[in-house]
């Protein structure tokens, strides 16, 4: 899949990653799948943490 690396995409990924990283350290999630995160960011479908847990954990 081709990802258009725009500034807004970087911003979304950074903000989303910080949210997931915080949850990771709070033991709310056990794994972060960066590929899945990039996919949803590129599709402009930022997932809630609960959906992330269901669909994106490795």
Every domain of the chain and the residues it spans: 7-55
| pLDDT tens digits, one per residue of 25-48 | 665 554 555 556 556 555 555 555
Each residue of 13-28: pLDDT tens digit?
777 777 766 666 665 5
| pTM listed for this prediction | 0.33
Say how far apart CA 19 and CA 15 lie, in whole Å.
6
Residues 57, 8: Cα–Cα separation, whole Å: 25
């Amino acid at each position: 899949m081709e990802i258009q690396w725009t500034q807004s995409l970087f911003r979304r990924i950074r903000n989303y990653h910080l949210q997931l990283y915080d949850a990771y350290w709070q033991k709310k999630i056990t794994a972060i799948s960066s590929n899945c995160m990039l996919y949803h960011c590129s599709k402009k479908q930022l997932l809630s943490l609960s959906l992330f847990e269901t669909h994106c954990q490795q």
